[in-house]
Amino acid sequence: MVPHEACRAIGILLLEDEPSLRTGLAQMLRDDGHEVWDYAAPAEVPSLSDLDGVAVAVTDYEMPGKNGLAFADEFHAQHPDVPVLLMTAYRKPSLAAQVLDRPYLRILQKPVDYEAIHATIHEIARRA
């Protein structure tokens, strides 16, 4: 993959419990010039108040313990100007309705390619 030209650097919080997806996505984002903080579980994420450099949060939905929607709500409560991208392999009408009720939240269906993730991050990221 060739890095994107003229890519605006973005601070990204990445929360994904699948190791190969997390490390691969984090590396591609870093290769494109972004600053990425990646974690395997919500419990690993440092205090949400310490994440001031984050312009967008990207989280998986299905994770052990707290799901991505619950994490997104907590993150949004402390960072109301930072949008959240929720990635999921589970497309349920009830989940779609919950996403619609949260204007700070976007959803992408897995499997999703890097180009779609990267474009969505640039589209929704908080402007510094």
Interval 74-84: pLDDT, tens: 999 988 999 99
pLDDT level of residue 93 (50, 70, 90 thresholds): confident
Task: Give yes or no for residue 88 having a pLDDT over 90.
Answer: yes
Alpha carbons within 13 A on the beta-carbon side of 113 = 3
* DSSP SS3 for 98: helix
CA separation for the pair 122, 3 (Å, rounded)? 14
| Per-residue pLDDT tens over the stretch 2-38 | 445 558 899 999 999 999 999 999 999 999 999 999 9
For the chain, which domains are there?
11-124 (3.40.50.2300)
Instruction: Pick the more confident residue, 93 or 6.
Output: 93
pTM exceeds 0.85: yes
